Amino acid sequence: MSIFDRIFQKKQEKSKQKRAESPTDNPAVLLGRQLADSLREKIPDTATLPEILTYFEEMCRIPVENVEIQDDLITCITDPFGEEPEWIHFALTRQFPDGEGGSVEILLDIGFPDVKGRLQLEDELCSDELDEREDVFDYIRRSAGYIALENIPPVAVDITCDQT
């Protein structure tokens, strides 16, 4: 099942349920899970995109031990999906090395109905394309996707932490 199907299968309930996670003693993975749990606790069901982005930004400012800032990546993707497509997907990801050759990804998927016919919204940004970390959140707030969606209530928010 794709992430899009998973998000919108839960659109009415705005699931914040904690996923079953395999045991680990990897400090980076444990931190990732703690950060994801913190987001789940902070983001209310009634949160708007500006509020969600603020919580995500605060989480991204928490440093990861033994990880250089250039290796602590933030991405933002906006794209349409669905059969017609009738949804807009706004995804924020924080990715950092797990110390074992892989990565920890904290993924915040937000789904919006395409209430105003904005299906042309497609954008992708990674923080390593910009000069400074602070710029990534300013860029996101200035992006066409963010501006188009900031006043539309999301129908689904899904927060996961994965080790890749």
Q: Is 105 helix (H, G, I), strand (E, B) or coil?
A: strand
Over residues 58-84, the mean pLDDT reads 87
Contacts of residue 101, defined as CB under 8 A and 6 or more positions apart, other chains included, come to: none
DSSP designation for 18: P
Instruction: Give residue 91's pLDDT.
Output: 95
20 or 86: which leads in pLDDT: 86
Over residues 8-26, the mean pLDDT reads 51
Over residues 72-85, the mean pLDDT reads 80
pLDDT confidence bin for 75, thresholds 50/70/90 = very high
Instruction: Give residue 124's pLDDT.
Output: 82
* Segment 106-137, tens digit of pLDDT: 999 999 987 666 556 777 888 888 776 557 89
Instruction: Give residue 12's pLDDT.
Output: 35
Q: Does 4 have pLDDT greater than 70?
A: no
pTM of the model: 0.81
Instruction: Give residue 18's pLDDT.
Output: 40
Instruction: Give residue 79's pLDDT.
Output: 85
Instruction: Give residue 82's pLDDT.
Output: 62
pLDDT confidence bin for 2, thresholds 50/70/90 = very low
Q: What backbone phi and psi angles, to 5 degrees, belong to 98?
A: -95, 0
Share above pLDDT 90 across residues of the chain, in percent, rounded to a whole number: 50
